[in-house]
């Protein structure tokens, strides 16, 4: 698999415009369901084609009987399905039980015991809930919760982020007045917490170094109460273009998107030593988002992690040059792999003695957030109910 599953589905739906909303939902949910459980389906049934994977998924995960599926079966598949009934279950290896690649389980084995790897994998194999961030420039969380309650929409405050709301089910929001009015944005709770770690203040100069479509940028702008100057840097013009309508809805006036050629762009060098706070949401494996992107299990590799680590080191080194003495740097990924997280930070601190690590638990406590994962923010889906996530907070004590 070389392309994201959601992109493949989007192209398929554009090519088949007559599919209704119900049919599209069924196709998307089925594709993602197969991807989430593919290791187990193959192990227990020997399914060796996409069609057979679909058949056993519908049968074993969705409760569709083989008798109901018979009209869809060709002779070969019918014979295979009949033999399947007598196939004995066998004890799966850990990676199959956890629905994770073997190489990933081996990496995790250096950090987590087998029972935690199993719990993590099973949590990541479940669909993700829908988390929202309230735009505090336009509404309070209580106001948004009250409106959802009046509409009969199940919603509750997220357990850690003071800005978050978790919805029951997946209601359509793209035409909801709260969304159109800029009062809410879709953003996982873990991502919201990284912005709380940066804790930007009014009238500061702040950089979101890998802004992408701007989810964290908008959160930072609201925390700054739309005062000061907030740069949204990214090397992808299509990603930055997605920020424009979101920015317009948000009502923020302090955000300045900037397209970079690379991490050493002249725009970065001109701001060296002038910035109060920098957030780096570094390009990473994305394994913390497997609930939403199960296809990553086949699109990433151990060799790819090494390539990402080189890119992460380069971005961190470049972004750190922006900070003035006393400035704060937050390095974050949506990954739980040490090679992308603690190892990157340790190497950076060893090479840049002017930076010191601030314990993330203390920083969160200062923001009145009751969450203690130690000196780093390290979130696991099975423990915290959100995407897997990592963040380190560092302070610049002076120039090198």
Q: What is the pLDDT of residue 219?
A: 97
| pLDDT mean over 131-151 | 97
Count CB-CB contacts under 10 A for residue 186: 15
- Read off the tokens for 108: 């995790």
Mean pLDDT, the chain, integer? 93
| pLDDT over 70 at 326, yes or no | yes
| pLDDT mean over 321-326 | 96
Q: What is the pLDDT of residue 75?
A: 79
Cα 245 from Cα 242, distance rounded (Å): 7
- Residue 386: active-site member: no
Q: Are strands 323-333 and 389-396 parallel, antiparallel or unpaired?
A: antiparallel
Q: What is the pLDDT of residue 86?
A: 62
How far is CA 206 from each of CA 201, 211, 257, 376, rounded to the nearest angstrom? 9, 12, 12, 21
Out of 195, 210, 284, 334, pick the active-site residue: 334
| pLDDT over 80 at 400, yes or no | no
**What element of type H or E holds 390?**
strand 389-396
Backbone φ, ψ for residue 262 (5° rounding): -165, -175
Contact 334, 289 (CB under 8 A): yes
What's the pLDDT tens digit per position in 348-394?
999 999 999 999 999 999 999 999 999 999 999 999 999 999 999 99
- Read off the tokens for 154: 């199940």
- The model carries a pTM of 0.93
Contact 249, 181 (CB under 8 A): yes
Report the half-sphere exposure of 365 (CA within 13 A, side-chain side): 9
| pLDDT mean over 268-274 | 93
Per-residue pLDDT band for 302 (boundaries 50, 70, 90) equals very high
Three-state secondary structure call for residue 226: coil
Contact 128, 387 (CB under 8 A): yes
Measure CA 81 to chain center: 37
What's the pLDDT tens digit per position in 245-266?
999 999 999 999 999 999 889 9
| pLDDT over 90 at 289, yes or no | yes
Q: What is the pLDDT of residue 46?
A: 85
Handedness of CA 148, 153, 157, 163 (dihedral sign): negative
Q: What is the pLDDT of residue 96?
A: 95
Q: What is the 3-state secondary structure (H, E, C) of 106-134?
A: HHHCCCCCHHHHHHHHHHHCCCCCEEEEE
Return the residue matching tokens 């309230």. 134
What's the pLDDT tens digit per position in 53-83?
988 898 888 888 878 888 877 778 888 887 7
For residues 123, 128, 129, 131, the Cα torsion angle rounded to the nearest 10 degrees is 110
Per-residue pLDDT band for 85 (boundaries 50, 70, 90) equals low
| pLDDT over 90 at 122, yes or no | yes
Return the residue matching tokens 């987590």. 112
Domains of the chain: 5-92 (no CATH), 190-396 (3.40.50.150)
């Amino acid at each position: 698999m070389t392309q994201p599953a959601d992109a493949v589905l989007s192209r398929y739906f554009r090519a088949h415009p007559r599919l209704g909303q119900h049919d599209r939902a069924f196709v998307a949910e089925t594709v993602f369901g197969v991807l989430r459980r593919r290791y187990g389906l193959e192990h227990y049934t020997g399914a060796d084609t996409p069609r057979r994977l679909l058949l056993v998924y519908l049968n074993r995960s969705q409760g569709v009987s083989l008798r109901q599926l018979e009209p869809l079966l060709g002779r070969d598949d019918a014979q295979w399905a009949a033999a399947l009934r007598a196939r004995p279950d066998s004890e799966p290896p850990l990676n199959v039980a956890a629905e994770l690649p073997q190489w990933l389980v081996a990496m995790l084995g250096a950090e987590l015991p087998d029972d935690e790897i199993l719990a993590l994998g099973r949590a990541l194999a479940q669909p993700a809930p829908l988390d929202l961030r309230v735009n505090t420039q336009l509404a309070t969380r209580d106001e948004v919760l009250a409106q959802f309650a009046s509409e009969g929409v199940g919603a509750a405050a997220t357990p850690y982020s003071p800005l978050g709301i978790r919805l029951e089910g997946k209601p359509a929001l793209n035409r909801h007045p709260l969304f159109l009015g800029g009062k809410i944005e879709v953003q996982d709770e873990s991502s919201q917490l990284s912005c709380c770690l940066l804790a930007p203040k009014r009238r500061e100069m702040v950089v979101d170094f890998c802004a992408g479509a701007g989810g964290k940028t908008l959160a930072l702008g609201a925390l700054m109460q739309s005062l000061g100057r907030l740069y949204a840097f990214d090397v992808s013009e299509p990603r930055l273009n997605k920020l424009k309508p979101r920015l317009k809805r948000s009502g923020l006036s302090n955000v300045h998107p900037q397209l970079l050629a690379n991490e050493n762009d002249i725009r970065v060098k001109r701001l060296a030593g002038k910035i109060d706070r920098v957030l780096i949401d570094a390009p990473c494996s994305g394994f913390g988002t497997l609930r939403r992107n199960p296809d990553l299990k086949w699109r990433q590799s151990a060799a790819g992690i090494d390539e990402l680590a080189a890119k992460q080191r380069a971005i961190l080194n470049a972004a750190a040059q922006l900070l003035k003495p006393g400035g704060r740097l937050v390095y974050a990924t949506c990954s739980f792999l040490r090679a992308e997280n603690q190892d990157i930070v340790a190497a950076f601190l060893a090479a840049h003695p002017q930076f010191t690590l601030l314990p993330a638990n203390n920083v969160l406590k200062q923001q009145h957030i009751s969450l203690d994962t130690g000196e780093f923010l390290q979130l696991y889906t099975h423990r915290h109910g959100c995407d897997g996530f990592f963040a380190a907070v560092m302070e610049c004590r002076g120039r090198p």
